[in-house]
Amino acid sequence: MTALGLDPVVAQSLVDGLGQFLRPSTLFSVLVDGLAKSALFLMIATGLTLIFGLMGVLNFAHGSLTMIGAYLGGLIMVLTVSQGTPNGTRLAVFFVGLFVVFGVLAALGGVIEVGLIRPLYDRPPIYQILLTFGVTLVLDELVRIVTLFYDIQPVADWQAALGTKPTWFTDPVDLGLASVRGLALFEILFGVVTVVAVWAFLNRTRYGLVVRAGSEDSEMTEALGIDVRRVFTVVFALGAGIAGVAGMLLMWDKNWGASVPLAAETLLPAFVVVIVGGLGTFRGTVYAALIVGLADAVTTWWFINVVDLTFLPEVVVFAILVLVLVVKPRGLFGLAEVGGH
Amino acid sequence: MSSDADRREASEEASRERHASRGTETDGGTTADAEGETPAESDLPEDYGSGLSWPARYAREHVPHLVVIALFAAYPFLHAFLLESPVSAEAVMLLPDVDTMTAVLYFGLFAMSFDFISGYTGYLSFGHAVFYGTGAYFVVLTANGKVPFLPYDAPFLLLVVLGGVLAVVLSLLIGVVSFRLSGVYFAMITLGFSQVLYVFVRDWDYVGSSPRDGPAVVGPPDATAPAFNVGVPGVDALNLAIGGLAGDSVEGLFGFVNLSSTEVTYFMAGLVVIVCYFAMQRLVHSPFGRVMIAIRENEERAEAVGYDPFRYKLAAFAVSAFFAGIAGGLFAGVRRSVSPDNSLFFLVTGDALLASIIGGFGTLAGPLYGRLFDESVREFLSKEGAGGGLLPYLRNHLPEGVLGADIFGGLTVQEAIGAFLNGHAALYIGLLFVLFVLYVPNGILGTLRDRLGATVAKWAGARLSSGGDGASASPSGED
């Protein structure tokens, strides 16, 4: 491993690396890569932040819901798409699949909330963490049983699902300054749509108003005659559904892919994004996703091209978490009273 | 933080050391002669209670402890006996191996240390694996001659304690930052710290040629791997090496007891765990432990009464890290290898959490039973059936007709067991875990104490309130 010492050769390679990094084409492709990563982080974290903001439940099962979404989405694609299916049809199937995945996971989320989490609202918040942690164990093992039963390797990425991408997304796209992965652009688009949709839901609909009121002060909201418990169920279902949609998107990305460990792989960055942004603020989550995604992309570029420190990108993600919590204990945009228990 | 505060911290540390060392002496004595005879010496005040000599009183107060220790001590013999008996097939299927029991012991210690901070102060230390991993890696790296200033063949117990001390240093660094936060934020920042270290160690090629799989104890390049001895320091005859193949075996103890190296490992690991348990148990029942519980129940009030919660939390965190480090060292000593995924990963903390909830959160001893339960179920449903288990038993004892019978769509009974039971213990443990959280929030031991508490606690409580408080108040009387 290259030591980061005062070795002149190393210093020279770092300077060269910096020069290479600052070239417009490199910066541009790193930017696109970073935005794509941000979009994915955002998709994973959105459901988590909605649920926490309203209900104060830190949902440990979120990663498992994403993972189930990935497998379910993969299943839909693999069953309907064959070798000769044209690109347009593949994309159309994907969008139909999104609705199915969203529906199934929202239903699952609703069942979990009503059946398991609802009895625990009177207990200390630690019990909700514990319960959802238990749910994770069960869901992961169930998926492992099912995949093994159908002879799919649960630990490795599901290659058949990866192969259902339209060729538009596998071929590089030339954007003048640099050519980028087609899938990256698709992911960025998806992220933007998610931000706009969730923002519109929270700020432009009656139900969103209720959700925001519930986040602010659920007792007062209840006193005003709104059935907060039902809102809880709806938001939990919504969050689970978004997690599933995120999973379906990840299923196509070769950096992630559908696999059982995907649950833990997505849960941890999702936590980081939500905590860095401040628990319960959607705006904070968006900014945090951008910061974490871009930092990840930049460090990934450096470790691939200049320094041989494989752990760099992952360490940076968690270092951001620690740093932000040290400087701003409530996260970047966190309110003092949200999650203050 | 002022240096004044640091000094107070240090004095607290010292008072804890006194506790710990006392625990060591008394319990070492208690276990050496198994059924709680006279421990050699003690610094308990002489005016403790009245009437009986103090060891007799101590033994009477700890009858449940002694019974449990005796059961654990008898287990290998019972296990061996049952394997020879007519029900041997059933015993192989149901009873965990001695190997598994050793794992229960060292991981149980880790789970107890997790419970010490999380169950008693209410601060969920979700990065607790970092201390376990620190202890484990410290032992393995030293034995491979990769830790400066320490000979590779330093005594194992010294390494374990030093690993614990290293974990304490780490815990103070993490704790100073993390205890500014509470609740979910605290859980997340500790998780963040532990993951940083996990990712770093996973790719740090100094630890071994394949850091992702982790190093094994091979010794330094020019020497053989050291043996890990547990016993009385300095007395060769009273030391036994632990760790499967590398461990000692004993023949003709007291003329008739023969122990395999597996059993020696079990007993020696058990010895360390007992010492650590009693040290923690003593702390939990001291005024210091009362403050921990006060912090859990109502931190503002504890502060209003005049305790500085930050100092107490930090101290509790350090103690818990120390024992987590010891558990890690023991784990490395028994397994003679370590990997990032079985020591530093956040799911290792998850396992401790699982054990704590099933056994009883905030009961200290509960996590050991939780882990015992967990490991037994895992072995019962294990894939290979290495330590016995359900599938090999059914394969041998069910008639071919039943095994081959169709359930539906060409799926035979045997295939169904293979697909849905074998190696999928996590599913059933997860289900049980959820049920425990929902319906038995106090866990096995917590519920037992609630149910039986009325009789046992009345009996023991009178003693504790007359003698226990007076005895434990004196060492940390500065608060």
pLDDT over 90 (residue B352): yes
pLDDT over 50 (residue B54): yes
Instruction: Test B427 with A142 for CB contact under 8 angstroms.
Output: yes
B269 near B334, Cβ under 8 Å? yes
Average pLDDT score over residue span B130-146: 93
Average pLDDT score over residue span B387-392: 68
Share of chain A above pLDDT 90, in %: 29
pLDDT over 70 (residue B255): no
Instruction: Give backbone dihedrals phi and psi of A251, rounded to 5 degrees, phi first.
Output: -55, -30
Q: Number of folded domains in chain B?
A: 1
Residues 6+ apart with CB under 8 A from B392: B92, B93, B385
Average pLDDT score over residue span A102-124: 91
Question: What is the pLDDT at residue B213?
Answer: 86
* Inside any domain, residue B418: no
Share of chain B above pLDDT 90, in %: 29
Instruction: Scan for tokens 């049980």, then name that residue.
Output: B432
Burial tier of A78 (Cβ tally within 10 Å: 0-12, 13-18, 19+): middle
Average pLDDT score over residue span B407-416: 70
pLDDT over 70 (residue B8): no
Query: Does the interface predicted TM-score (ipTM) exceed 0.90?
Result: no
The full length of chain B comes to: 479
- pLDDT, chain B, mean: 78
Question: What is the pLDDT at residue B51?
Answer: 63
Inform me whether the C-beta atom of residue A329 falls under 8 Å from chain B C-beta atoms.
yes
pLDDT over 90 (residue B279): yes
Q: Which residue of A has its CA nearest to B298?
A: A341
Distance, in angstroms, between B419 CA and closest chain A CA?
Answer: 6
Domain limits for position B168: 3-381+424-473
Question: What is the pLDDT at residue B470?
Answer: 38
Inform me whether the C-beta atom of residue A148 falls under 8 Å from chain B C-beta atoms.
yes
Q: Which residue of B has its CA nearest to A57?
A: B184
* Inside any domain, residue B187: yes
Question: What is the pLDDT at residue B52?
Answer: 67
Inform me whether the C-beta atom of residue A1 falls under 8 Å from chain B C-beta atoms.
yes
Question: What is the pLDDT at residue B235?
Answer: 67
Residues 6+ apart with CB under 8 A from B376: B96, B100
Inform me whether the C-beta atom of residue A31 falls under 8 Å from chain B C-beta atoms.
no
pLDDT over 80 (residue B414): no
Q: Which of B21-30, B107-116, B399-408, B444-453 has the lowest mean pLDDT?
A: B21-30
Q: Which of B7-16, B51-60, B229-238 has the lowest mean pLDDT?
A: B7-16
- pLDDT, chain A, mean: 85
Question: What is the pLDDT at residue B31?
Answer: 35
Question: What is the pLDDT at residue B234?
Answer: 66
pLDDT over 50 (residue B478): no
Question: What is the pLDDT at residue A318?
Answer: 86
Of B183, B199, B438, the CB nearest to A341: B183
Residue B252 vs residue B159, higher pLDDT: B159
Instruction: Test A131 with B438 for CB contact under 8 angstroms.
Output: yes
Element (H, E) at B453: helix B443-463
Of A125, A149, A325, the CB nearest to B183: A125
Report for B47-61, B132-146, B433-447: range of highest mean pLDDT: B132-146
Q: Which of A53-62, A198-207, B134-143 has the lowest mean pLDDT?
A: A53-62
Encode pLDDT of B288-327 as tens digits: 999 999 999 999 999 999 999 999 999 999 999 999 999 9
Quote the pTM value. 0.83
Encode pLDDT of B75-132 as tens digits: 888 888 888 877 777 777 778 888 889 999 999 999 999 999 999 998 989 999 999 9
Report for A111-120, B381-390, B405-414, B422-431: range of highest mean pLDDT: A111-120
Q: Which residue of B has its CA nearest to A136?
A: B430
- Please report residues of A whose CB lies closer than 8 A to that of B350: 133
The ranges assigned to domains in chain A are 23-327
Inform me whether the C-beta atom of residue A319 falls under 8 Å from chain B C-beta atoms.
yes
Question: What is the pLDDT at residue B139?
Answer: 93
- Please report residues of B whose CB lies closer than 8 A to that of A150: none
Q: How would residue B27 be classed by pLDDT, with cut points 50, 70 and 90?
A: very low
Distance, in angstroms, between A276 CA and closest chain B CA?
Answer: 10
pLDDT over 50 (residue A255): yes
Residue B409 vs residue A106, higher pLDDT: A106
Average pLDDT score over residue span B180-201: 87
Average pLDDT score over residue span A305-332: 81
Q: Which of A90-104, A164-178, B158-172 has the lowest mean pLDDT?
A: A164-178
When scoring B120, B188, B310, B353 by the number of chain A Cβ atoms within 10 A, the one with the most, hence best to mutate, is: B188
Average pLDDT score over residue span B243-252: 70
